Homo-oligomer: A and B are copies of this chain.
């Protein structure tokens, strides 16, 4: 294979700009087309989340491209969930019993800008903005674009095309509408949508509430969360049903009703948000969807990567991390099969899809956990036991959350299977009185390990695998 091969990347978001950087480092001629303006020059945050959770799987990719330290400077560590009850009482539930395991709040704009800057340092990487992809001819490896300013359409060809154009991917749409092969596809929406709000800094630029946590106000059927920004503000997100329950997005139509809702359900948050009503009616309400599909690739011509292949709901804080891990996995497959795009693409999908399917399902699980379970006693007992196990036996126990978030050496699917079995083991043994939080920790650990193995083995036999 000649390294002068031309690769066309559709989309210069987080995944696309990282991929451009990595393929640039590998020596390919990379051309990227992005539909939005250059976010380093314009304010275009509207409609997309302002900050994101960044953790170990994402960091694995930053190490790969050698910018770990630069990214670290953008991060605000969050050591746990700060749970706020209706009376305004708070308690901190750490993400792990191991002190070095935490997640970070990071600015989408800051991180994306860094990745674009790093990619453009390579002469063999070119990034064009304001060029929207309309469709992809995957049989001829060409893409149709429209320039936002001139409105003119033009066609680009390449040796292969990789679409990192997000949940509304033009390539995925071309696969679906093309009907040239059997394309399995799903889009599933929750009955809940989300709206971004904000807690502004104090007059002196300080944080109005505890900085180093992901704040959650869980209320069973809905919730509010908040993540810190470097400027002292928090980005707040309300997750709420469109049409169910006493208060929902469809019936929160007046300032009075919005204030009443927050007064009743989130009084301590309301006092931090004098700007609530303005934010509420200025910012859009957006849906929460999961997208899965297969195949991701057409021969060696085209490939879906990142959200275009597997958009997930945000509740595990893994959307960006999963897309970054895509690039790491893709890079590893390139090491093995470079020179044969069809083998690279099909091998990549084969090894990767089971894991992105798993994180999609885990993210739905966590929706219920965050808005509801974290407020339940048996769940809190389980978390207490898990924190103690992780602290006391740091090399012998990792909770489902830790397996997913801090154990980047195992795949999401393995983390899901083991993590779910552990959860089931602990919850059932607590319910049956087989373990109590006050028991000797070593005894608890042994029982949890045995019961987890038994659950996995029972499932294996029932599945006749």
Contacts and interface: CB of A to CB of B under 8 A. Distances in A.
Interface of A: 182-189, 242, 287, 289, 292, 368, 372-373, 376, 378-379, 420, 423-424, 427-428, 431, 458-459, 461-462, 464
Contacts of A185: 185-188
Contact of A428 (B187, B287, B376, B461): B461
Nearest to A290: B184
Nearest to A177: B177
Q: Chain B CB within 10 Å — which of A187, A287, A378, A464 has the most?
A: A464
24 contacts: A182-B242, A182-B287, A184-B186, A184-B187, A184-B188, A184-B189, A185-B185, A185-B186, A185-B188, A186-B186, A186-B187, A186-B292, A372-B464, A373-B464, A378-B464, A379-B464, A423-B462, A424-B459, A424-B461, A427-B461, A427-B462, A427-B464, A428-B458, A428-B461
Contacts of A373: 464
Contacts of A376: 464
A219 to B, nearest CB: 16
Number of copies: 2
A187 to B, nearest CB: 6
Nearest to A462: B424
Nearest to A464: B373
Going nearest first, the 10 A-B pairs with the smallest beta carbon separation are: A186-B186, A424-B462, A182-B189, A184-B188, A431-B461, A184-B189, A428-B458, A427-B462, A428-B461, A427-B461
A439 to B, nearest CB: 19
Contacts of A372: 464
Contacts of A462: 420, 423-424, 427-428
A459 B459 CA distance: 12
